[in-house]
Amino acid sequence: MGSPVSLLRHGQPHHVLSTWLGIYRMATPGLISADNATLRLDLDNEPQPDLLLCLPAAVGGRSRITEDGYLEGPPELVLEVAASSVSYDLHQKLDVYRRSGVQEYLVHRVEDGEVDWFVLEHGTYERIQPDGEGILSSLVFPGLWLDVSALLRGDLQALRAVVERGLADPEHAALSRRLALP
């Protein structure tokens, strides 16, 4: 039997974040996404992130699905919901993901009511800053926009509306065309 997981401190926030990512994934066929799948980064590190999103290798993704069904190599985006694991997620895991080349790392710090979205620049994670409306935007996945306030409230309708605004970005259309090519 697994460790106990709090509904309020993990289960519901995880579901909201997963739904947000799923809205984007549904509108962007060809991406690889997963929930709680083991990720083989190297011989010493096989984390099981809450969520992940990858580009397929054919369009520049750096991970691959192995013969035995595991994801090997760094996904472009890893997402964690952190309550009691904040220290681990913002130190040990952050360092493993950075060293492995994960381009973006999002940590939803439930108890702090904060979201940290990091982007890998020159071997170092830098925090992505929200725009004037409090929206965080992926630098790897065009149109993947996050209304932090809506996430913290668990407002799925507002999250969907912001993702839909992001999906209207011409760069998202360009990514969708790239993903549609054989």
Instruction: Output the DSSP codes for the chain.
Output: -PPP--IIIIIHHHHHHHHHHHHHHHTSTT-EEEES--EE-BTTB----SEEEE--GGGT---EE-TTS-EES--SEEEEEESTTHHHHHTHHHHHHHHHT-SEEEEEETTTTEEEEEEEETTEEEEPPP-TTSEEE-SSSTT-EEEHHHHHHT-HHHHHHHHHHHHTSHHHHHHHHHHH--
Task: Give me the sheet containing 64-65, strands edge to edge.
Answer: 39-40, 71-72, 64-65
Say how far apart CA 111 and CA 133 lie, in whole Å: 23
Confidence at 4, pLDDT banded by 50, 70, 90: confident
pLDDT band at 6 (very low <50, low <70, confident <90, very high): confident
Does the predicted TM-score (pTM) go above 0.85? yes
- Residue 2: pLDDT above 80? no
Binned at pLDDT 50, 70 and 90, residue 1 comes out as low
Is the pLDDT at 181 greater than 90? The verdict is: no
Number of Cβ atoms within 10 Å of the Cβ of 15: 15
What are the pLDDT digits (tens) for 142-153? Answer: 999 999 999 999
pLDDT tier, 91 (very low <50, low <70, confident <90, very high otherwise): confident
Count CB atoms within 10 A of the CB of residue 25. 18
Residue range 40-82, pLDDT digits in tens: 999 899 999 999 999 999 999 999 999 999 999 999 999 999 9
At residue 137, does pLDDT exceed 80?
yes
What would the pLDDT profile of 118-133 be if each residue is shown by its tens digit? 999 999 999 999 999 9
For 137, the token pair is 């935007």
